[in-house]
Amino acid sequence: MGRGKIEIAKIENSNSRQVTFSKRRAGLMKKAYELSVLCDAEIAVIVFSSTGKLFEFASSSMEQTLARYSKCVESSENSAIVEHEVPKKDVREVECLKQEIADLQLKNMQILGKDLSGLGLNELQKLEQLLNEGLLSIKEKKEQLLLAQVDLLRQKEQKVTMENATLHRRIMKLESFFPPNALPVSYLEQGVPREYSPGKHVSSSQDTECHTEAENGELMTTLFLGPPPENGQRKRKTPENDSGNPSGTSGSQIE
């Protein structure tokens, strides 16, 4: 038969209560020892009997365990206090931040020239001075940027000038490898009249005539092609414009 269920209540009989206390205390100490060995736990057991007698068990040291216990209790109490204080601190910080944001927004509106009804003469003068200082700072920054851009453009100009000079030197060096006659000559350097062109030359199988007009007169030059005369001389007859020849052409005779 199994053991019956014992009612958990105070034992009125003092002798029975003392016997039960001794048995249960021994079992408690045994279980505490087994728990400390099996689970590598730090255990301390303190028991006072009804008569005030002290019974204790400690797996390592009772003083060390109690000091550790006191430290843990203090830290837990402090953490609980901090947990209660943190929300209040956060609320105060939030309120301060909201007020700062409102002040900054109002100041920004006043700088823009709005919501000036609550400002006095001194405050308006301070605001005007602040705006003037801001304008001066803006102008100085603008001038710095413009000067920087001008310097950059000058550097680019110098770079382009140097590149052009380099290209010019290369061209001159390449031209030095060619003789002067091989270089192309422009139309102005040739000195040929505009009226003269290769398309105006006329050639004949028997006689070829080349006519050149001088700038100061009408001088006609005739070139004769053929066997030399017997006396080795060739006579040239100057054409007469006022002669009886209706065509105005000149004749030539070979003696």
pLDDT in tens, 133-172: 888 999 999 999 999 999 999 999 999 999 999 999 999 9
Task: Check residue 208 and give its pLDDT.
Answer: 43
* Mean pLDDT in residue range 94-121: 85
Average pLDDT in the 4-33 region?
88
- Most confident of the following: 9-23, 192-206, 215-229: 9-23
pTM exceeds 0.75: no
For the chain, percent of residues with pLDDT exceeding 70: 64
Across the chain, where does the E strand assignment appear? 44-48, 54-58
Altogether, the residues listed in the chain come to a count of 255
Q: What is the pLDDT of residues 225-241, one digit of tens each?
A: 666 655 545 445 445 44
Average pLDDT, the chain: 75
What is the C-alpha to C-alpha distance for residues 144 and 138, in angstroms, rounded to an integer?
A: 10
Nearest residue to 22 via CA among 44, 57, 4, 49: 49
**Do the Cβ atoms of 43 and 32 come closer than 8 Å?**
yes
Q: What pLDDT does 220 receive?
A: 53
Rg of the chain, C-alpha, whole Å = 65
